[in-house]
Amino acid sequence: MKAQCVPLCLLGAMLFLCSVHTRDLRRCLISTDVHTIEESFRGIKKAIQAKDIFQNVTILSPSETLHSIKPSDVCCVTKNLLAFYMDRVFKDHLEPNPQILRKISSIANSFLSMQKTLQQCQKQRLCHCGQEATNATRIIHDNYDQLEVRSAAIKSLGELDIFLAWIDKHHHGTSAA
Amino acid sequence: MVLEEISTSLIMWFSCALIPCLLIDAVAVLPAPQNLSVQSTNMKHVLTWSPVVVPEEIIHYSVEYQGEYESLYMSHIWIPSSWCSPTAGPECDITDDITATVPYNLRVRAVLGSQTSAWSTLKQPFNQNSTILTPPGMEVTQDGFHLVIKLEDLGPQFEYFVAYWRKESGAEEHVKMVMNGGVPVHLETMEPGSAYCVKAQTFVKAIGRHSAFSQAECVKVQGETLPLALALFAFVGFTLILVVVPLSVWKMGRLLRHACCPVVVLPDTLKITSSPQKLISCRREEVEVCAMAGLSSKELLGVFI
């Protein structure tokens, strides 16, 4: 009995270790210091949010989208939202003030750096998009399309603090797998 | 007819092409700055270029930058540098402009009044992950038996790893992470009579790189034998003080007594050398001789009353 138990125990241990390892691999996290980006945004937050005239509307809709994202979808949602900001928001916003322009440039280039890290995960197939992640991304894009483009861009810029807090919460403390 | 039309349009085209050249000849061209390069050490980045020299004129320069995001998504956008739009010297501290770990394009032009030169662009985009990281300066001190280190403050982007060990074979090396430089940090309470060594390196999270370790600095702790010698010496000294001080006080007292209340000493001539009994018996004989001379005691008394 004892001799049969040993290989079974070993197999069980191996299976357990494999499942843990797989669960870790599924999490693709970025190590960029989000606090530096938050600090850049803090400097322009008031000026940006003051230009937002549609106070009762939200584009990111955190309660519908970000707050219900599962850990396995974090990589996909992060990648999609980074693309949303870089492909649409920053391009649609024309900033005349050089000081604000510098801060937006700093945030945009930091997002580009983060996106490069996530692209590594994507190559390793660690950034799978589930249905919930796809739905959340679609809601955000639909909200953006419902407003006039300049207003939508300024509102999305004003909601950067929500996105940065969400990134900090889900990517805190560990580097990309 | 056709030939005439062709020649007319050729002449017009040629004239139009010459107009810019004529205009340029009319105004002196301000040369563009040359030899742009970036020196970067410990995350401090400085753009330099060869100065533009125009006799008897003061030239200023404008610096602009473009992150990789701008070059990919909006290539016409160039951002004026925080500190160098304009600047006087042929160099610019672009540390505050380079905020992400991506390649940045940089360009400079000379400005003289309303005149500007063409833009001169840095040949290779600059990425802050190419910065040279040097080992941090450190000050190792002893506070009693406490091993204390103070690291050079290189700014908020830097973290420090401090390795320290007891200087003996087989001793374990300890590593401590220090978040901020410029403040003293306690490493260990040392054992007397041992030597301890310390070395440190920096880490910049934004670029994921470490510097080399600094040269190890060692300190030696005083042993317990010295305090014992000190204690013995102190005991001997204390005992001496216990003897010398009362003696001195007594001596001083005597001196003072002699000074203010001196003792009178009889001269030798007045000193009585024979015994006092003999002196008393001589005196009695003198009185008896005086009484036998004829006077009675009653008559003597009456004289005095």
Alpha-carbon span B35 to A49, nearest angstrom = 43
* Alpha carbon B129 to chain centroid, angstroms: 31
Average pLDDT over residues A125-152: 91
Q: What is the pLDDT of residue B224?
A: 64
Helix axes A160-171, A149-158, angle to 10 degrees: 40
Q: pLDDT at residue B268 above 80?
A: no
Interchain CB contact of A85 with B (< 8 Å):
no
Q: What is the pLDDT of residue B279?
A: 52
Q: pLDDT at residue A177 above 50?
A: no
Q: Give the tens place of pLDDT for each residue, B77-100.
A: 999 999 998 999 899 999 999 999
Q: pLDDT at residue A102 above 50?
A: yes
Alpha-carbon span B161 to B181, nearest angstrom = 11
Domain ranges of chain B: 34-130, 138-221
Domains of chain A: 2-171 (1.20.1250.10)
Question: Is residue B94 within 8 Å of B84, Cβ to Cβ?
Answer: yes
Q: Give the tens place of pLDDT for each residue, B162-181.
A: 999 999 888 899 999 999 99
Taking the alpha carbons at both ends of chain B, their separation in whole angstroms is 192
* Alpha carbon A16 to chain centroid, angstroms: 30
For all residues of chain A together, what is the average pLDDT? 84
Q: What is the pLDDT of residue A146?
A: 93
8-state DSSP, B100: S
Interchain CB contact of A39 with B (< 8 Å):
no
Q: What is the pLDDT of residue B293?
A: 45
Would you say the CATH fold of B138-221 matches that of B34-130? yes
Q: What is the pLDDT of residue B26?
A: 43
Determine which of A16-20, A166-170, B248-252 has the lowest per-residue pLDDT on average. Answer: A16-20
Using pLDDT thresholds of 50, 70 and 90, give the confidence band for residue A25: very low
CATH code for residues B34-130: 2.60.40.10
Cis preceding-peptide flag for A7 (omega within 30 of 0):
no
For all residues of chain B together, what is the average pLDDT? 84
Pairwise pLDDT comparison (A158 vs A61), residue with the higher score: A158
Determine which of A50-59, A81-90, B63-72, B129-138 has the lowest per-residue pLDDT on average. Answer: A50-59
| Residue whose tokens read 């160099």 | B91
Chain B residues with CB-CB distance to A36 below 8 A: 99, 206
Q: pLDDT at residue B23 above 60?
A: no
Average pLDDT over residues A89-101: 94
Least Cα separation, residue A129 to chain B (angstroms): 25
Average pLDDT over residues B9-31: 62
Average pLDDT over residues B138-153: 93
- Helix and strand numbers (H, E) in chain A are 9, 0
Q: What is the pLDDT of residue A24?
A: 42
Least Cα separation, residue A94 to chain B (angstroms): 10
Residue of B nearest to A116 (CA): B102
Distance (Å) of CA B113 to CA B50, B116, B118, B121? 20, 8, 15, 22
| Residue whose tokens read 């603090």 | A161
Q: Within 10 Å of residue B54's Cβ, how many Cβ atoms?
A: 13
Q: pLDDT at residue B108 above 50?
A: yes
ipTM score above 0.90: no
Q: pLDDT at residue B244 above 80?
A: yes
CATH code for residues B138-221: 2.60.40.10
Interchain CB contact of A135 with B (< 8 Å):
no
Q: Which of A86, A101, A102 sits opposite B73 (nearest CB)?
A: A86
Pairwise pLDDT comparison (B226 vs A121), residue with the higher score: A121
Q: What is the pLDDT of residue B254?
A: 85
User: Cβ of B99 and A113 within 8 Å?
Assistant: no
Strand positions, DSSP E, chain B: 34-41, 44-50, 60-67, 79-80, 91-93, 104-112, 115-116, 120-121, 138-143, 146-151, 158-166, 174-178, 184-189, 195-204, 209-210, 217-220
User: Cβ of B68 and A112 within 8 Å?
Assistant: yes
Pairwise pLDDT comparison (B299 vs B62), residue with the higher score: B62
Give the rounded percent of residues in chain A with a pLDDT score beyond 90. 50
Give the rounded percent of residues in chain B with a pLDDT score beyond 70. 79
Interchain CB contact of A41 with B (< 8 Å):
no
Using pLDDT thresholds of 50, 70 and 90, give the confidence band for residue A163: very high
Chain B residues with CB-CB distance to A112 below 8 A: 67-69, 72, 100, 102
Tokens of A148: 């006039």
Average pLDDT over residues A145-149: 94
Question: Is residue B202 within 8 Å of B131, Cβ to Cβ?
Answer: no
